[in-house]
């Protein structure tokens, strides 16, 4: 059996802590060796219970001989620089989405990881959720025929951001819906997004227009398929991730949110408890995506979801920004736009 | 088009009122002409809004030239006499279950209706519920292969009888589970019940032993199939009617209790409102069974569920009484037991 | 009890035949007296088995003293003229959707029926489907809080039109999605549609550009709510009608397509048979909408869904045509556009 | 962090191989160090890919200093001797069900492990399935009120045993339904089984009477609750594990068999693919039960499901044998029966 893939975590926030625990406790063939985070104590809090060491800097992780791969879960604005530095240090990289803050940044990531010959994977977790993977498999096998109409949806639990002005502009497109854009791309194999029209608003905090907390995006694909991506930052009933694909031969639906098959029947009716966090709903998918990284590293191959996918999904997010700004339809870029 | 089948109702209690409304408002080709009930006012209350006349006696209904068929929804202890009298008066008969209070009584019903050449139907409503009918059809078509293991369940809504001592002995077997016994017989076509073991108790009112409010009955069939019938008088979550049949080739399940496909999602989870009465859950089945009566009368044929079915189901109920009394297994009669 | 409402049918095509049977056999307090259709034999074929008379002309129906109300199920292009003529003849009117072929036509319908003082109802059947009615009730009762994001969907069964060039232009907007537009309006009470962006294509018959067989429409409402309406003419799995509404407090979903609660389990898995026609899926809703007409006529009140609703839904359809034509966003009219 | 609990596997058959992989790849804080099996090659086949060593004898495993705990997955007839030997060697023990082949054997296991002061756990996996654990929690929290009527069901996938005469007598009670008996005991906390009536037959292979391949058992509890346990060896649609509990306040259902939330809709209807093996359906539960062993060993406490539970479930299985043999009701022992 091969030696374990030794992993360093960069960024010990909520999702970083989740990835660290998944690596340490659930991914066979991986070990968590180091955790770095600029916030004092944050790295130690994650590393300690998982028997990993705390590093005081990213550089220390990237220099470490006992680190084979890094998981980048820092702030999105740092993703490009961190991935490029990791690649130059010869580390394989798993990077949370988005892989950069612009198409140019993601292109840098693509170039740097390709040049370094390291594995690069972006955190599009739904590809590793069981029902999504089964749907993709059915589509690729031709069971749906031609793909014609799609929908992908993400709703975050709760009542919306506590600090509406603290949410970076375009978050709903670049951070949330980017999952749906990748899902739609992936479930419509062989086609690419052509144009986009985005409708969005600030509904939980009407006086804060930079916050877009609900958005519905229609994407037209090169094969004529019409896709809808929907997001909300305020689902009182929990974390909701669903999709459906209508093909010429069959239709598939994915996602239903129940925590388990338990149903409680009382005077109110029949109740299914729903999942209230991504780490609950998607734990197996989070495990699966990191297992994919480990497998790719061990097998010396590219992970199944890489920089091209990161680019294609971000291109839709970028087109959403354009569409929302103009109010009209916007083209989806297939290459980094040239400066005017 | 044929003239409508003119119907008289005998017994204007809860279920009688329901049947009257179904005849008057939902069954094509039928008209409600007369209602009789010994309780002053009860007949008028049902007949008035439905434009039927009130009769002061059963005899008046049976004598009436404008009554083609009667619906017997009186007290079960009167069923035999009423059906026999109706048959002798040349009226077609729909009788609520059970068709009599003993196998001998049901045999009288069978003989009298056969002799009179009138249509006779017993109120085994589940045969007319869409999912049960589809299951039966699949079984008859051979899609399940050999029937091997069955379950049928009835749960009444609420918290149990308000007057535990007012419930006639053996009600759970002869009035409630008799539906399940017929369902099991019908979903295991070509086989007959051989023996029974019944377990029951007084759980809502422990100090009242004549009340059996929960019962689980295992029925063994001539083809080796093993069936369970379960009943409860106290389901807080509503009226619950379900069944399943395991065959050598496939399995079918029926019943789920939701009022509609509406699901309400909030902080508690995903809620399906459940039906809280038989007249709500089974309205289409109540309509279907009376449509069958009308069709049989018009076509001059026997209804699809008649005296033999009433007898076979009651034979299981009778065996339950025997089994509960002795604590052991009891044989299911196929003919009226001879006096010792 | 009041005398039955006597109904004449104008247009004995597929949906007209369905309405005729529903009136004759399922709607309490109604009777079908006459059927008219220009096609020789079509009227007789519907009228005969239902004991109604065949009329040779629309005029004969409108002149008939024994006709209280008409059901207009003729070609959509004739709706305006038929409704106006019926109103002028003093007949109450149920008209299939759309109530006219332009906002001006629907305004004529509104004016004529108001002036004549007759009841006018448009055939937006989903308002009478149990789950949709329950959702509406929950929304009106405030259980969802503020309405924020909606979806309504209609998919016709089959593989698309057999004669792609025979489908009138804009059918998907004016005939199919008009149901969804009304549903969205109704489930977002107190708000009105502001603008629309429509994406559509000819996917079953790519060489026939006047046929739009798939469409996804995003509607923005005056309360900021963002709604999606989706339609397809080619669902191999059956007739599919669903909706969902996300509010600030809760979310509701409607529709699931199974014929009944029967589930067949075999080597393939667990199968729910789906409905393959509107008359199957929506039979109770078709009954409910005609019961509403009868109740409104008897009670001397306006039906719950009338000319204003017909106008509001068609205004969205008209905006879809504008949006599709320009490729951009189009405003939804609130009054008949003035000639330039 | 504590050192890993080092585990030796005794018995490298199907379920042993599954447990080995779960220990090696999914249980945090455990390591698989050794595998023993009397069949040449079987141990090596399991141990090799998991980086564990192969031992030529049970004794070698029990003597090994680097083995803290053993998983006993050998033939049931050897369970008692293996557990007693392991306990005497000071090893903690996880033993597949049943923990012995008689109440006396299980009592030996109970005594030996208690005397040695080692942790002992029996493989009642459903306690670690998410929906069953949630149901138990709801019941213990009082949300169901008094438990009144229960059902637990196990159906093995396929078409029945390929060698009907090779199945040891009473397997359906002692090996299959024993899971259901423990489930029922556990979901009716504070009560104990009083008597049993078992109905069973050889339906897949009628000429082989020692094979019982379908059984339905009714268990009466000390609190009056009535429970049904059902098993089949021949479910074409997959591995099926379900339960339900009716209480005075609410009802819970568990289990539905779908592999994921994916639904495929085509001309046949809406299909949910079902699980076809225990290791697929119960993978998380298998992981959970071994995590419990590891946690108990580390925390120096007894596992949550031990020898008393093994005894109580087997006592019901033994009563089934008695009941089937006599045809009547049989008492459930609470202590090892004294020799006559």
Partner residue facing C251 (CB), from A146, A228, A237: A237
C interface toward A at CB cutoff 8 Å? Answer: 146, 148-149, 151, 155, 159, 197, 199-204, 206, 214-216, 218, 220, 224-228, 230, 232, 234-237, 246, 248-251, 327-329
Strand pairing partners for A197?
Answer: A218
What confidence tens digit (pLDDT) does each residue in B158-196 have?
999 999 999 999 999 999 999 999 999 999 999 999 999
Q: Which residue of C has its CA nearest to B131?
A: C262
Residue A110, H or E segment: helix A103-116
SS3 assignment, position D248: coil
Please tell me the distance in Å from A69's CA to the nearest CA on chain C. 41
Q: Which residue of B has its CA nearest to A275?
A: B269
With 0.80 as the threshold, say if the pTM is over it. Answer: yes
Phi first, then psi: give them for residue A37, nearest 5 degrees. -160, 135
Chains in contact with A via at least 3 Cβ–Cβ pairs below 8 Å: B, C, D
Partner residue facing C258 (CB), from D235, D258, D270: D270
Per-residue pLDDT at A1: 52
Partner residue facing B260 (CB), from C134, C143, C251: C134
**Contact in structure between C35 and C9 (CB atoms under 8 Å):** yes
Tell me whether residues A201 and C248 touch, CB distance under 8 A: no
Position with higher pLDDT, C339 vs B79:
B79
Q: How far apart are the first and last CA of chain D?
A: 54
Q: Position of tokens 């319908």?
A: C109
Residues 6+ positions from C266 with CB-CB distance below 8 Å: B143, B249, B250, B251, D236, D237
Residues 6+ positions from D246 with CB-CB distance below 8 Å: B155, B232, B235, D144, D147, D148, D149, D150
Q: Give the A:D interface size as CB pairs under 8 Å.
A: 83
Per-residue pLDDT at C1: 52
Q: Which residue of A has its CA nearest to B260?
A: A269
The residue among D149, D234, D256 with the most chain B CBs within 10 A of its CB, best to mutate, is D149
Residue C310, H or E segment: helix C307-326
Residues 6+ positions from C36 with CB-CB distance below 8 Å: C8, C9, C10, C11, C12, C43, C54, C55, C56, C57, C58, C60, C61
pLDDT digit of tens for each residue in chain D (340 aa)?
A: 568 999 999 999 999 999 999 999 999 999 999 999 998 799 999 999 999 999 989 999 999 999 999 999 999 999 999 999 999 999 999 999 999 999 999 999 999 999 999 999 999 999 999 999 999 999 999 999 999 999 999 999 999 999 999 999 999 999 999 999 999 999 999 999 999 999 999 999 998 989 999 999 999 999 999 999 999 999 999 999 999 999 999 999 999 989 999 999 999 999 999 999 999 999 999 999 999 999 999 999 999 999 999 999 999 999 999 999 999 999 999 999 886 5
Please tell me the distance in Å from C156's CA to the nearest CA on chain D. 13
Per-residue pLDDT at A340: 54
The chain-wide mean pLDDT, for chain B, equals 96
SS (H, E, C) chain B: CCCCEEEEEECCCHHHHHHHHHHHHCCCCEEEEEEECCCCCHHHHHHHHHCCEEECCHHHHHHCCCCCEEEECCCHHHHHHHHHHHHHCCCEEEECCCCCCCHHHHHHHHHHHHHHCCCEEECCHHHHCHHHHHHHHHHHCCCCCCEEEEEEEEEEECCCCCCHHHCCCCHHHHHHHHHHHHHHHHCCCCCCEEEEEEEEECCCCCCCCCCCCEEEEEEEECCCCEEEEEEEEEECCCCEEEEEEEECCCEEEECCCECCCCEEEECCEEEECECCCHHHHCHHHHHHHHHHHHHHHHHCCCCCCCHHHHHHHHHHHHHHHHHHHHCCCEECCCCCCCCC
Residues 6+ positions from C38 with CB-CB distance below 8 Å: none
SS3 assignment, position D56: coil
Please tell me the distance in Å from D214's CA to the nearest CA on chain A. 25
In whole angstroms, give the CA distance from residue C212 to residue C220. 22
How confident is the model over C1-13, as a mean pLDDT?
Answer: 91
Tell me whether residues C264 and B24 touch, CB distance under 8 A: no
Strand pairing partners for D246?
Answer: D149, D251
Burial code (b: 16+ CB inside 10 Å, e: under 16) for C222-250 equals: ebbbbbbbbbbbbbbbbbbbbbbbbbebb
Tell me whether residues C28 and B28 touch, CB distance under 8 A: no
Residue A287, H or E segment: helix A283-299
Tell me whether residues A236 and C214 touch, CB distance under 8 A: no
CA dihedral A69, A72, A78, A84 (to 10 degrees): 20
Return the DSSP state at D208.
-
Please tell me the distance in Å from C293's CA to the nearest CA on chain D. 34
In whole angstroms, give the CA distance from residue B314 to residue B320. 10
What confidence tens digit (pLDDT) does each residue in C309-324 have?
999 999 999 999 999 9
The token pair at B317 is 């109920």
Which chain C residues are Cβ-neighbours of A197 within 8 angstroms?
197, 199, 218, 329
The token pair at C259 is 């014929």
Where does chain A show beta strands of DSSP type E? Answer: 5-10, 30-36, 53-55, 69-72, 92-95, 120-122, 147-157, 193-201, 214-221, 226-235, 240-247, 251-254, 263-266, 269-272, 330-331
Residue D207 to residues A14, C39, D129, D165, Cα–Cα distance (Å):
62, 67, 37, 10
**Contact in structure between A181 and A219 (CB atoms under 8 Å):** yes
What confidence tens digit (pLDDT) does each residue in B266-306 have?
999 999 999 999 999 999 999 999 999 999 999 999 999 99
Please tell me the distance in Å from C143's CA to the nearest CA on chain B. 9
Helix axes A130-140, A283-299, angle to 10 degrees: 60
How confident is the model over A172-184, as a mean pLDDT?
Answer: 98
Which chain B residues are Cβ-neighbours of A269 within 8 angstroms?
237-238, 258, 271-274
Please tell me the distance in Å from D237's CA to the nearest CA on chain C. 4
Partner residue facing D251 (CB), from A1, A50, A265: A265
Tell me whether residues B251 and C260 touch, CB distance under 8 A: no
Per-residue pLDDT at A257: 86
Please tell me the distance in Å from B333's CA to the nearest CA on chain A. 38
In whole angstroms, give the CA distance from residue A104 to residue C282. 52
Chains in contact with D via at least 3 Cβ–Cβ pairs below 8 Å: A, B, C
In whole angstroms, give the CA distance from residue B80 to residue B76. 8
Closest to B70 (Cα-Cα) out of B49, B89, B54: B89
Q: In what order do the strands lie in the sheet with A92-95?
A: A53-55, A30-36, A5-10, A69-72, A92-95, A120-122
SS (H, E, C) B94-131: EECCCCCCCHHHHHHHHHHHHHHCCCEEECCHHHHCHH
What confidence tens digit (pLDDT) does each residue in C134-164 have?
999 999 999 999 999 999 999 999 999 999 9
In whole angstroms, give the CA distance from residue C114 to residue C118. 7
**Contact in structure between D280 and D259 (CB atoms under 8 Å):** yes
Partner residue facing D268 (CB), from C258, C265, C271: C271
Q: Give the B:D interface size as CB pairs under 8 Å.
A: 100
Closest to C291 (Cα-Cα) out of C13, C79, C94: C94
How does residue A40 score in pLDDT terms, banded at 50, 70 and 90?
confident
Examine residue B250 and say whether the peptide bond preceding it is cis (omega within 30 degrees of 0). no
Which chain B residues are Cβ-neighbours of C256 within 8 angstroms?
261
Please tell me the distance in Å from B109's CA to the nearest CA on chain C. 32
Partner residue facing A262 (CB), from D50, D134, D249: D134
Strand pairing partners for B270?
Answer: A272, B265
Partner residue facing C236 (CB), from D238, D267, D271: D267
Chains in contact with B via at least 3 Cβ–Cβ pairs below 8 Å: A, C, D
**Contact in structure between A83 and A160 (CB atoms under 8 Å):** no
Partner residue facing B269 (CB), from A265, A267, A272: A272
What confidence tens digit (pLDDT) does each residue in C171-202 have?
999 999 999 999 999 999 999 999 999 999 99
**Contact in structure between C108 and C80 (CB atoms under 8 Å):** yes
Burial class (CB in 10 A: 0-12, 13-18, 19+), B301: exposed
A interface toward C at CB cutoff 8 Å? Answer: 146, 148-149, 151, 155, 159, 197, 199-204, 206, 214-216, 218, 220, 224-228, 230, 232, 234-237, 246, 248-251, 327-329
Q: Which residue of C has its CA nearest to D237?
A: C266
The residue among D136, D241, D264, D295 with the most chain A CBs within 10 A of its CB, best to mutate, is D264
Tell me whether residues A232 and C216 touch, CB distance under 8 A: no
What confidence tens digit (pLDDT) does each residue in C118-128 have?
999 999 999 99
Q: Which residue of B has its CA nearest to C129?
A: B260
Per-residue pLDDT at A339: 66
Which chain C residues are Cβ-neighbours of B261 within 8 angstroms?
131, 253-256
SS (H, E, C) B204-246: CCCCCCCCCCEEEEEEEECCCCEEEEEEEEEECCCCEEEEEEE
Tell me whether residues A226 and C146 touch, CB distance under 8 A: no
Tell me whether residues A268 and B266 touch, CB distance under 8 A: no
Q: How far apart are the first and last CA of chain B?
A: 54
Please tell me the distance in Å from C252's CA to the nearest CA on chain D. 19
In whole angstroms, give the CA distance from residue A92 to residue A118. 5
Return the DSSP state at C99.
S
**Contact in structure between C125 and C292 (CB atoms under 8 Å):** no
Per-residue pLDDT at D154: 98
How confident is the model over C93-114, as a mean pLDDT?
Answer: 98
In whole angstroms, give the CA distance from residue C185 to residue C310. 11
Phi first, then psi: give them for residue C94, nearest 5 degrees. -110, 125
Residues 6+ positions from A202 with CB-CB distance below 8 Å: A164, A208, A209, A210, A211, A212, A213, C224
Residue C30, H or E segment: strand C30-36
Phi first, then psi: give them for residue B291, nearest 5 degrees. -65, -35
Please tell me the distance in Å from D131's CA to the nearest CA on chain C. 20
Sign of CA dihedral D322, D324, D326, D329: positive
């Amino acid at each position: 059996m091969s030696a374990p893939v030794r992993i360093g975590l960069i960024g010990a926030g909520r999702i970083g802590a989740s990835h660290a625990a998944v690596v340490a406790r659930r991914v066979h063939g991986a070990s968590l060796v180091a955790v770095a985070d600029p916030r004092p104590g944050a790295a130690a809090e994650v590393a300690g219970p998982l028997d990993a060491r705390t590093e005081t800097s990213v550089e220390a992780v990237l220099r470490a001989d006992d680190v084979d791969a890094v998981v980048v879960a820092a702030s999105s604005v740092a993703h490009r620089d961190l991935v490029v530095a990791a690649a130059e240090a010869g580390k394989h990289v798993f990077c949370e989405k988005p892989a950069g803050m612009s198409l140019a940044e993601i292109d840098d990531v693509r170039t740097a990881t390709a040049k370094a010959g390291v594995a690069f994977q972006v955190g599009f977790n739904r590809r590793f959720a069981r029902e999504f993977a089964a749907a993709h498999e059915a589509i690729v096998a031709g069971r749906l025929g031609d793909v014609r109409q799609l929908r992908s949806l993400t709703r975050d639990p709760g009542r919306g951001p506590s600090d509406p002005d603290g949410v970076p502009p375009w978050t709903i497109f670049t951070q949330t819906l980017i999952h749906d854009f990748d899902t739609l791309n992936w479930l419509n194999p062989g086609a690419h997004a052509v144009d986009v029209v985005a409708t969005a608003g600030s509904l939980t905090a009407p006086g804060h227009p930079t916050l877009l907390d609900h958005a519905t995006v229609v994407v037209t694909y090169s094969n004529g398929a019409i896709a809808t991506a929907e997001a909300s930052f305020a689902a009182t009933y929990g974390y909701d991730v669903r999709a459906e694909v209508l093909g010429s031969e069959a239709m598939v639906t994915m996602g239903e949110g129940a925590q388990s098959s338990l149903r409680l029947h009382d005077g109110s009716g029949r109740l299914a408890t729903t999942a209230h966090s991504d780490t609950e709903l998607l734990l197996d998918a989070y495990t699966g995506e990191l297992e994919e990284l480990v497998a790719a590293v061990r097998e010396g191959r590219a992970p199944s979801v890489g920089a091209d996918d990161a680019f294609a999904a971000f291109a839709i997010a970028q087109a959403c920004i354009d569409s929302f700004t103009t109010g009209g339809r916007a083209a989806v870029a297939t290459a980094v736009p040239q400066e005017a």
